Amino acid sequence: THFGFQTIKESEKTNEVYTVFENVANYYDIMNDTMSMGIHRIWKDIFIQELGPTHGTHLLDSAGGTGDITFRYMNFLKNTPNPQAIRSSVTVCDINQHMLDVGKERANRLGLSQDTNCSITWKQENAENFSFPEESFTAYTIAFGIRNITYADKVLSEAYRVLQPGGRFLCLEFSHINNGALQWLYDQYSFQIIPVMGHLITGQWKAYQYLVESIRRFPKQEDFKDMIQTAGFRNVTYKNLTYGMVAIHSGFKL
């Protein structure tokens, strides 16, 4: 393209994405903080508030990477009174073992690996094709993941399959800005600054070019909502955060 970006062909996307995250796994958390100036933490906090888990939730954190959503979920539960000591669980899935390894270390450091009320399982899985039986979970989250996956429709139908009736689907993803001035600033930042920062910190220019391009190509809020409905989910809604820089899409298996 005009910017010299390479478009990743569908057939190569899974491998390319794998390499991207393999290369950045050790820098992933620091890069998120640097590039978003810490804002991703606020988005993720809002995301968990929106999920509002109760004790007894069995969450599948899909494309869960190094565990950011999982840890927030566990902390949310810790801060919710649990007089009957009802147990919850979370299964963190990612296609990339390197990301999961970094996540496990973080869980140990945070003292979350041995939580008595919420068990945590790390599992290498492809979100397009899980090994779990149907109706295994009561909630499904995917944060900054679906955009990276070759067949988003397969991800959605798998989410539907593994959720129990009444289960909640919640997705946090970069989306499309609804404010002209902010869009301009965001474009400058994405095209001029992000790849340079990515290169300086991780030595990976291409990985961060890929990031910017994948955000542009991801469906608009309404179109993504339609896709979620097509997968079978009901009461599908979305919420824009930061003028649509990211959006939270929600749906129920009813």
Could you say whether residue 209 binds ligand SAM (CB under 6 A)?
no
- Extract the tokens encoding 178: 């609804």
Could you say whether residue 210 binds ligand SAM (CB under 6 A)?
no
Q: Where are the beta strands (DSSP E) in the chain?
A: 58-62, 88-94, 118-124, 137-143, 163-174, 234-241, 246-252
Residue closer to ligand SAM by CB (options 127, 247) is 127
Distance from C-alpha of 3 to C-alpha of 196, rounded to nearest angstrom: 14
Q: Which of 140, 144, 210, 233 binds ligand SAM (CB under 6 A)?
A: 144
User: What letter would DSSP give residue 163?
Assistant: E
- Which span (106-114, 131-139, 144-152, 160-168) binds ligand SAM, by CB under 6 A? 144-152
Distance from C-alpha of 59 to C-alpha of 207, rounded to nearest angstrom: 29
Could you say whether residue 115 binds ligand SAM (CB under 6 A)?
no
Q: Which of 91, 154, 176 is nearest to 125 (CA)?
A: 91
121 contacts 89 by C-beta, under 8 angstroms: yes
- Which span (57-65, 80-88, 181-189, 233-241) binds ligand SAM, by CB under 6 A? 57-65
Applying the rule CB under 6 A, the residues between 14 and 53 that interact with ligand SAM are 17, 21
Could you say whether residue 143 binds ligand SAM (CB under 6 A)?
yes
* Cβ-closest position to ligand SAM: 65
Distance from C-alpha of 181 to C-alpha of 107, rounded to nearest angstrom: 40
Could you say whether residue 212 binds ligand SAM (CB under 6 A)?
no
Could you say whether residue 99 binds ligand SAM (CB under 6 A)?
yes
At residue 195, what is the residue type? P
Residue closer to ligand SAM by CB (options 17, 59) is 17
The string of DSSP codes covering 69-136 is HHHHHHHHHHTS--TT---EEEEEEES-HHHHHHHHHHHHHHT-TT-SSEEEEEEE--TTS-SSPTT-
- Which span (64-72, 110-118, 179-187, 235-243) binds ligand SAM, by CB under 6 A? 64-72
Residue closer to ligand SAM by CB (options 63, 120) is 63
State in angstroms the smallest separation of the CB of 203 from ligand SAM.
18
171 contacts 160 by C-beta, under 8 angstroms: no
Q: Which of 24, 51, 68, 163 binds ligand SAM (CB under 6 A)?
A: 68
- Which span (90-98, 108-116, 177-185, 236-244) binds ligand SAM, by CB under 6 A? 90-98
Report the 10 Å Cβ neighbour count for 147. Answer: 20
Residue ranges binding ligand SAM (CB under 6 A): 17, 21, 63-65, 68-69, 93-96, 99, 126-128, 143-145, 148-149
